[in-house]
Amino acid sequence: MNNEIYLDGNATTAVLPAALRAAVHAMEDHYGNPSSTHGTGLKARAVLDAARARAHRVVGAGAGRLMFNSGATEGIQTAVLSALCAVRARRAAGEPAGTLLVYGATEHKAVPESLAHWNTLLGLGLDLVALPVGADGRHDLDALRRLAPDAAFVCTMAANNETGVISDLAGIAAALEGSPALWMVDCVQALGKLPLDLAGTRIDYAPFSGHKLYAPKGTGMLYVRAGAPFTPLMKGGGQETGWRSGTENMAGIAALGAVLAALEHGGTFRTHAEQCAFRDRLADALRLALPGIVFNAPFDRALPTTLNFSVPGLSSRQLLDVFDAAAMRVSAGSACSAAKAQPSYVLDAMGLPEWRSSSAVRLSFGPLMDDATVTEACARIARCGKALRLAGLLGEPAAVRPDGLLQLTEGGLHTWLVLDAASGTCAVIDPQPALAERIDTLLRNHGYRVAATLSTRDGASWPATGDCLYLGEQCLRRVAAGQDSLCYLLGPDGAAPRHAFIGRVEPSRLAGILSDVSLPDVFSPNLLLCPATDAQSAVCTLLHAAGDAGPSADMHLDAHALATLLHGDPRALLVDVREPYEHAAALPSGWPMRGRQGITQVSSIPLSRLAGELPAWLAQAERVPLVFYCRSGNRSARAAGCLRSLGYANAWHLHGGIALAVDDFR
């Protein structure tokens, strides 16, 4: 059952069926080496020539050259090397060459990285300058006009991969009038989405990547204007008339040829007007589902296939998780930076506020999109909105009030919320500015009154007259922890505290500090230390943490190892650490498959609530196996690692998450 809706077309696309057939045909029948002169080779050569001829027509290459390569990153290297070698030669000949390497501030990282790399390798000492963009994401043409006389090489893109913003190439060309600069335009996101007539422009180099338009990964091409300087990146057998040695990737080229044929013949891909209609429907669904949403690029200046947005009070992680639960694949910014939770440099360059740049989500589709998929995507967007509303994360009162301890993590820092549902009061410990909106929405929608906003650095905000602040039955105590730190102990009144919020104090220093506190049993070996940073612990640690018994390689289970473990020990508890809004948005995934895996018990403890659950687990006489799981295996690894470091050796997690396990059990 594949009910996935793939909305990450700017990262990559599936392969067009015709391209797949062409690749298989090239491997099965036309498997020859196009450099061979015998019949088998000639057939391969015909495929190569036909693909190149099509590419020429589709991009309007005119008298320019098109060489096939492994993709845009290679094309960018080749263009940069060619331009810089030309600058070196011009300099040596005493001709005007310019001193600046100018690149758009929102370029794909491949561009500034290659410029810096080759500038250093060639020892040219040229200055790299990021060309600013305006709030609409377009290049600042006045700045370019000022830089143009000194520019040696200018790199801009036709359309941005994060925002879809379309560059004003005619305006850039006009700004470069009279400049000695060579010019590269990254056309990766333009192919199939914007009309191209490269030979009709002064563009010297234009890299393309096949996998952004339904060809396989590892295929691409580079356009070089007739007469533009060229230096091969790879020398060898002289393929591609000596411009790019190495036996051609014929399966990839055949597939790319099939995509180019579809572009040339028309009828396969949606028209611009159809793409705009799809975008408008998706945008309307998003507006309805996610009140307060802001789109981060003006629609009238962007590809209709890219929607980049932020929602006040929601992180991109939360949005991605809820969309993923509904089997809709979107991304936070570009795929290359998806693994790093950082603000988008593209949105930063556009001058957007930090919250928008750090919480942005990109929804992008390819020109093969169809009406039924858009309809289903809109329905799922509504489902996600409803799930977030029920969880109190959007601007409406929530159904169920959460209780106990809640951990919010952003940028490696933890904020802790102590919630008492019965009295409707709570304390917020070490709130981060980046979470302010999220905390505010959450507490407001659940009808919580903030009894105290506390800092482990500064005791000024302590509201109680004594050393104890009551939240229902729970008592929060303030304890000095060295010169400029405070620590807060939480537990039932008069009993041993269960949690200590320790800020940035090292656990090893705490024993001495807490020895002054006259509380029963403060040194309970199970007193859980809740730190302020991820570096101290992902969730909780102990005064006498289990040393080398921390997260370990053997806690990772694949689906089969999991099944073996569950069959071997019927007491095992499967713990789902996803958030409630993910459950509410989820489509039936067939996981966990109780019958097949022998699962008896499944419990739902979101990672954000794990700290509150730990005392009960640690107090068990007999430690049952706990197997954590989540969508991708990230959060479950944190949970299992935490338990292991607390000395709970019987903790495991599903490596690769449900995303992989569902396939394994299919």
The residues of the shown chain that bind ligand PLP, judged by CB under 6 A, are 71-73, 108, 110, 157, 161, 186, 188-189, 209, 211, 220
Quickly count: other Cβ atoms within 10 Å of residue 422's Cβ: 10
Nearer to ligand PLP, 293 or 330 (CB): 330
Please state the φ and ψ torsions of residue 85, each to the nearest 5 degrees.
-65, -35
Give the nearest distance from C-beta 574 to ligand PLP in angstroms.
37
Q: Using CA atoms, how far apart are residues 372 and 141, in angstroms rounded to an integer? A: 41
Nearer to ligand PLP, 208 or 648 (CB): 208
* Rounded to 5°, angle at Cα 401 from 395 and 402: 110
Which among 155, 174, 202, 181 has a CA at the least distance from the CA of 96? 181
CB of 350 to ligand PLP, least distance (A): 16
Nearest distance, CB of residue 73 and ligand PLP, angstroms: 3
Q: CB of 34: closest distance to ligand PLP in angstroms?
A: 22
Rounded Cα–Cα distance for residues 635 and 646 (Å): 17
Please check whether residue 101 is in contact with residue 115, taking contact to mean a CB–CB distance below 8 angstroms.
yes
**Minimum CB distance to ligand PLP smaller for 69 or for 179:** 69
102 vs 405, beta carbon nearer ligand PLP: 102
Classify residue 460 as left (phi > 0), alpha (psi -120 to 50) or beta: alpha
Neighbours of 6 (CB within 10 A): 20
Residues 6+ apart with CB under 8 A from 159: 165, 166, 167, 189, 190, 193, 194, 302, 303
The whole-angstrom separation of Cα 22 and Cα 157 is 30
Q: Which residue has the tokens 């024993």?
A: 511
Q: Name the residue nearer to ligand PLP (CB basis): 113 or 348.
A: 113
Nearest to 434 by CA among 501, 359, 503: 359
- Closest separation between CB of residue 11 and ligand PLP, Å? 7
Residue with Cβ nearer ligand PLP (234 or 464): 234
Nearer to ligand PLP, 209 or 441 (CB): 209
Q: Calculate the CA 608 to chain-centre distance.
A: 20
Q: Which is nearer to ligand PLP, 219 or 415 (CB)?
A: 219
Residue 336 a catalytic site member:
yes
| Residue among 85, 187, 276, 336 flagged as catalytic | 336
Give the containing element (helix H, strand E) for 501: strand 499-503
| Residue 100, C-beta contacts closer than 8 angstroms, at least 6 positions apart | 126, 127, 128, 129, 147, 150, 151, 152
Min dist CB 188 to ligand PLP, Å, is 4
Q: Would you mind telling me the total number of residues written for the chain in this entry?
A: 666
For 308, phi then psi, to 5°, come to -115, 125
Q: What is the DSSP letter of 204?
A: -
CB of 23 to ligand PLP, least distance (A): 17
Query: What's the min distance (Å) between Cβ of 72 and ligand PLP?
Result: 3
List the alpha helices (DSSP H) in 431-520.
436-445, 507-514
- Annotated catalytic residues are 336
